């Protein structure tokens, strides 16, 4: 509440509109010095004062001088208006104003209100521009996210390999990717990749990884997994990217004719899990290898070959799964995944288990892919 200066001149002004000319700078020097519009109305809603700034700009809208506030608000029954500062925004002649109305008291008697009009047009236009820009950005993100989802392989049987995948991006664009490629009549390549970070840059890098690996196999169908990673790194270095950009890839080639899997790894710290059907044992498919980056020296990507058996299963995943935490900050862990795989749980069960386990919002991308080797085939 703003107390009024006790003087005869002010009392006369509050008595009615006719005394507005008596209201001079001696009493309202501060109000007349303000860049905001200021007006005062008595308890009956009659205008008794406007400051110099408002007086100069009054040609914009004379109704600001002549209009009175709702008299019901100023009546003795309206305690809210008498005891509370009210804020609102109005559009006046194409400009946005923030209006703050505060009660005025003289010797504990309600005498009227003082209103301060602040021009917030620039701020309001900035908010509108920012809103439109954010809306456009969200539309672009939804579009790219839809493309990312659609470029993932379909859940179906490829030769003797039945593939089922799940991809759940976080709120941002994803850096996760997995794919299966037919190399020849007896071989299929499968890889899973994780690009550092999120957002547009990570999303574009997944496109690079997908196109590059597809192109390598198209031109060099005889390449082993290690040779593919070596060529992929060479292609990446040619991009001359920022030194902080990197990604990881695990890649394997299924030899259906000879029942073998040969794989190599470029820094992917989520080793696939192999359920050996005839032994009911889960092994980690581990092999060393450095991530792909232009600041890390070229590595010889080692290769490992294992035997496969009908109905073997291999589970692929990214760290968004194993690093999910519960309310006590415990991680979901690879061991929990291994137990689910050993108990022959499907992806829907694993995702449901993960959702029950996780506390709070999902903060990383989640990718899961399950391969059934020479198991029951789909009709498609």
> Which domain CATH number covers 93?
3.30.450.20
- Give the residue numbers spanning the domain of 21: 2-119
Q: Are 238 and 310 in the same domain?
A: yes
165 in any annotated domain: yes
Domain for residue 307, yes or no?
Answer: yes
pLDDT value for 29: 77
Instruction: Give the model's pLDDT for residue 17.
Output: 45
- Claim to verify: residue 115 and residue 132 sit in the same structural domain: no
Q: Is the residue at 378 inside a domain?
A: no
Question: Considering the domain boundaries, does residue 253 fall inside one?
Answer: yes
Residue 15, pLDDT score: 44
For residues 166 and 87, membership in a common domain is answered with: no
**pLDDT computed for residue 57 by the predictor:** 81
Task: Please give the Cα distance from 322 to 336 (Å, whole number).
Answer: 8
Domain-located, residue 230: yes
Residue 74: the pLDDT is 58
Does the predicted TM-score (pTM) go above 0.85? no
Give the pLDDT score at 13: 44
Give the end of a domain, one of 104, 119, 134. Answer: 119
Residue 180 is part of a domain; what is its CATH number?
3.60.40.10
Residue tagged 């795989």 (tokens): 341
Q: Does the residue 336 lie in any domain? A: yes
Around 201, how many Cα atoms within 13 Å sit in the side-chain half-sphere?
A: 10
Residues 209 and 335 in one domain: yes
Same domain, 180 and 308: yes
Same domain, 108 and 248: no
User: 301 and 186 in one domain?
Assistant: yes
What is the distance between the alpha carbons of residues 116 and 26, in angstroms, rounded to a whole number?
20
Spell out, as residue ranges, where the chain has pLDDT lower than 70.
Answer: 1-27, 59-81, 171-174, 242-243, 375-380
pLDDT in tens, 304-363: 999 999 999 999 999 889 989 999 999 999 999 999 999 988 999 999 999 999 988 777
What pLDDT, on a 0 to 100 scale, did the predictor assign at position 7?
Answer: 43
In a domain, 233, yes or no: yes
What sign does the CA torsion over 229, 231, 232, 234 have? Answer: positive
Domain boundary among the residues 75, 103, 119 is at 119
Query: How many structural domains are present in the chain?
Result: 3
Same domain, 100 and 186: no
Residues 165 and 276 in one domain: yes
What confidence score (pLDDT) does residue 271 get?
A: 94
237 with 321, same domain: the answer is yes
Q: Is residue 15 part of a domain?
A: yes
Beta strands in the chain (DSSP E): 2-3, 37-42, 47-50, 86-92, 95-106, 109-119, 156-158, 161-168, 176-184, 187-195, 246-255, 260-266, 273-276, 281-284, 292-293, 303-307, 312-317, 366-373
């Amino acid at each position: 509440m703003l107390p009024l200066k006790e003087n005869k001149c002010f009392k006369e002004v509050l008595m009615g509109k006719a005394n507005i000319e008596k209201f001079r700078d001696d009493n309202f020097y501060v109000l007349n010095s303000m860049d905001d519009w200021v007006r005062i109305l008595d308890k009956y809603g009659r205008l008794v004062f406007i400051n110099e700034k408002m007086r100069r700009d009054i040609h914009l809208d004379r109704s600001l001088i002549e209009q009175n506030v709702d008299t019901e608000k100023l009546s003795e029954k309206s305690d809210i208006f008498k005891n509370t500062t009210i804020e609102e925004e109005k559009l006046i002649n194409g400009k946005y104003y923030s209006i703050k109305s505060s009660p005025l008291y003289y010797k504990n008697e309600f005498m009227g209100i003082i209103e301060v009009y602040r021009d917030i047009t620039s701020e309001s236009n900035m908010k509108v521009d920012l809103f439109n820009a954010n809306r456009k950005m969200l539309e672009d993100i939804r579009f790219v996210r839809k493309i990312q989802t659609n470029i993932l392989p379909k859940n179906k049987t490829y030769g003797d390999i039945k593939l089922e995948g799940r991809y759940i991006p976080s709120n941002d664009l994803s850096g996760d990717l997995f794919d299966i490629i037919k190399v020849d009549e007896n071989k299929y390549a499968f890889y899973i990749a994780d690009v550092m970070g999120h957002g547009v840059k990570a999303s574009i890098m997944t496109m690079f990884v997908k196109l590059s690996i597809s192109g390598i196999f198209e031109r060099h169908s005889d390449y082993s997994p290690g040779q593919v990673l070596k060529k992929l790194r060479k292609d990446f270095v040619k991009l001359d990217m920022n030194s902080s950009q990197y990604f990881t890839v695990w890649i394997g080639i299924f030899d259906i004719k000879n029942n073998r899997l040969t794989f190599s790894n470029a820094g992917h710290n989520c080793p696939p899990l192999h359920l050996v059907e005839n032994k009911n044992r889960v092994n980690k498919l581990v092999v060393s290898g450095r991530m792909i980056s232009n600041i890390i020296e070229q590595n010889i990507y080692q290769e490992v070959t294992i035997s496969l058996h009908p109905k073997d299963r291999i589970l692929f995943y990214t760290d968004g799964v194993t690093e999910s935490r519960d309310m006590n900050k415990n991680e979901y862990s690879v061991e929990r995944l291994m137990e689910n795989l050993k108990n022959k749980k499907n992806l829907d069960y694993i995702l449901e288990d993960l959702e029950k386990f996780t506390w709070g919002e999902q903060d990383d991308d989640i990718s899961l892919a399950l391969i059934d080797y020479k198991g029951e085939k789909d009709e498609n």
